[in-house]
């Protein structure tokens, strides 16, 4: 397959345009996801923080974590208030679930990795990824400065895609349309730009053929003083001259040959 100059250049431009568009879209999407999920996470952190405050105030009164029965109602209330919350759990430093919005889960053990943040930090919020849920959690610290356990809130991991699928789909279409439109522009413009190169080369080729076949002169563009086309015209002339000379010489030799 032969590729014209314009096709090569427009292919390069379109490929670049697509890469740039795609890259920008991907970065834009990730950024948006970042901002949105940090907003969502900050909301849940806030909820978790209010629960933590509530629990620690009671721990400060000397109650043991497992005795804080009112907390069960408090976390259930928080879950009712927000239908995106999958569940809220409070577990102790050994990993036993003491309170859970899903009451069936009380008394079970949490995965070992949920205990890791309790050893590393004492006051920093942590986030974890469950199978299909994200978690934000805060350690619960008693008045002795000892981590008694943690409260975690689970929310769906794929909320962004679900909530904003339509919006993102529309944006993707718009992006594709814009890329397609500008690809066409790129192609047309590169044909226009490189067409002249092709035309001039074609013109020179035709002149060459014509002069060699029929004789005459190549007419260089007068503006192209000393440029390629002027030199090419000289070349055409010289070639014609050489060909003529050689064929005249051939005729001469032939004549000599026949003469004998």
Partner 1 sequence: MIRRGFLAGLAGLTALAAGRRAAAADASAQPRRPYRIYMALFRGWEEAAQGFKDYFSNQGIPVELIVRDCAQDKSKLPEFVAEAKALGVDLVFTWGTTVTQEMLGTIGAVDPARHITDIPAVFAIVSQPVGAKMVPNLQSSGRNITGTSYLVPMETQVNLLRSYLPVPILGMVYNPLERNSLVAIDELRELGAAQGFSVIAAPVDVVEGKPVAAGIPGKVAQLKQAGAGFLYIPPDTFLNVNRDILTQAALDQRLPSFAAAENPVVTSKAMFGGVYRYYTVGQLTAYKAEQILVHKVPPRDIAIDAPKRLSIILNMPVVRALGVYPPMNLLGLAEVIDGPEIRP
Partner 2 sequence: MRLDSSRPLLIRLFILAVLVLVPPVAIVSYWAMGEFERGMIPEMDKKAAVVGRDVTAQVERAVDLGIPLDGLVGVDEFFAPILQANPEIRYLAITGPGGRVLFARGIAKETLAGHLMRAAPAGDDGKAAIGPYLDLALPVGSRAGIGGQVHVGFDQGYIGTRLGDIFYDIVVVLAASLIVAFEILMFVVFFNITGPMKLAAAVVDRARRGDFTHVPGGVSGDEVGHFIRTLSTTIRRADEQFRSLMAYIDEVRTAHFDKTVVERAGEIAERVRFLYRFSETGRPLVIRDQLATDIRLPLFLFVFAEEMGRSFMPLYAREFGTSFAGLSAEMLMALPIVMFMVGITVASTWAGAAIARLGTRRVFLTGLIPAAGGYFLTAFAESVGQLICLRILSGLGYALVTVACQTYIARATVEEKRAQGLGVYVGAVLTASICGTAMGGVLAERVGFDATFVISSLLAAISGWLVHRLLDAGQDGGADRNDGDGDGKSLLRLFANWRFSALLLFAAVPAKMALTGFLFFLVPLILWKAGLTLPEIGRTAVLYPVVMAVLSAVSSRLSDRMGWRSGLVAAGGLIGGLGLLTPLLPLGLDAPTGVALAIVALGISHGLSASPQLALVPDVCWIECQSFGRTKVLALVRTVERFGSIIGPILAAAFIPAWGLDGAVVVLGSVVLALSVIFMLCSFAFGSGLHIVAEEDEE
39 in contact with partner 2 (CB under 8 A): yes
Q: Residue 146 binds what, of partner 2, partner 1, none (CB under 5 to 8 Å, by partner type)?
A: partner 1
One residue of 60, 70, 108, 121 binding partner 1 per CB under 8 A: 60
- Give the closest residue to 217 by CA, choosing from 249, 241, 201, 190: 241
- DSSP-derived secondary structure letter, 96: B
Structure tokens that stand for 138 in this block: 């805060």
201 in contact with partner 2 (CB under 8 A): yes
One residue of 61, 256, 259, 260 binding partner 1 per CB under 8 A: 61
One residue of 94, 185, 217, 219 binding partner 2 per CB under 8 A: 185
Q: Distance of CA 79 to CAs 21, 50, 55, 76, 88, Å?
A: 41, 13, 16, 5, 7
Q: Residues near 134 by Cβ (< 8 Å), separated by ≥ 6?
A: 37, 41, 127, 128, 154, 155, 156, 157
62 in contact with partner 1 (CB under 8 A): yes
One residue of 1, 39, 144, 260 binding partner 1 per CB under 8 A: 144
106 in contact with partner 2 (CB under 8 A): no
Nearest to partner 2 of 94, 206 (CB atom): 206
Binding residues for partner 1 restricted to 214-243, rule: CB under 8 A: none
Binding residues for partner 2 restricted to 58-87, rule: CB under 8 A: 81-82
Q: Distance of CA 40 to CAs 47, 50, 239, Å?
A: 11, 16, 79
69 in contact with partner 1 (CB under 8 A): no
Report the SS3 class of residue 67: helix
Query: What does residue 95 show for φ and ψ, rounded to 5 degrees?
Result: 95, 5
Q: Give the x/- contact pattern for partner 1 in 109-128, rule: CB under 8 A.
A: ------x-------------
Nearest to partner 1 of 44, 91 (CB atom): 91
165 in contact with partner 2 (CB under 8 A): no
C-alpha neighbours within 13 Å on the C-beta side of residue 140:
30
54 in contact with partner 1 (CB under 8 A): no
Buried b (16+ CB within 10 A) or exposed e, 68-78: beebbebbbeb
146 in contact with partner 1 (CB under 8 A): yes
Shortest gap between Cβ of 52 and partner 1 (angstroms)?
13
Nearest to partner 2 of 85, 98 (CB atom): 85
């Amino acid at each position: 397959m032969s590729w014209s100059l314009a096709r090569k250049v427009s292919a390069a431009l379109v490929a670049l345009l697509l890469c740039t568009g795609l890259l920008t879209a991907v970065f834009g999407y990730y950024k948006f996801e970042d901002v949105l999920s940090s907003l969502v996470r900050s909301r849940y952190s806030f909820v978790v923080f209010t629960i933590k405050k509530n629990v620690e105030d009671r721990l400060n009164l000397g109650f043991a974590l497992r005795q804080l029965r009112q907390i069960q109602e408090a976390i259930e209330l928080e879950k009712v208030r927000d239908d995106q919350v999958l569940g809220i759990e409070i577990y102790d430093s050994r990993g036993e679930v003491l309170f859970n919005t899903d009451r069936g889960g009380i008394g079970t053990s949490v995965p070992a990795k949920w205990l890791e943040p309790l050893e590393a930090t004492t006051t920093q919020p942590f986030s974890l990824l469950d199978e299909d849920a994200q978690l934000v959690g805060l350690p619960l610290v008693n008045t002795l400065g000892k981590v008694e356990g943690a409260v975690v809130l689970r929310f769906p991991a794929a909320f962004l895609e679900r909530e904003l699928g339509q919006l993102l789909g529309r944006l993707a279409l718009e992006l594709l349309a814009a890329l397609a439109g500008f690809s066409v522009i790129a192609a047309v413009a590169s044909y226009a730009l490189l067409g002249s190169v092709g035309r001039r080369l074609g013109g020179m080729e035709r002149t060459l053929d014509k002069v060699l076949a029929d004789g005459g002169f190549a007419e260089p563009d007068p503006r192209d003083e000393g440029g390629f086309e002027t030199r090419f015209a000289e070349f055409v002339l010289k070639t014609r001259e050489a060909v003529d000379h050689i064929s005249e010489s051939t005729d001469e030799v032939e004549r000599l040959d026949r003469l004998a």
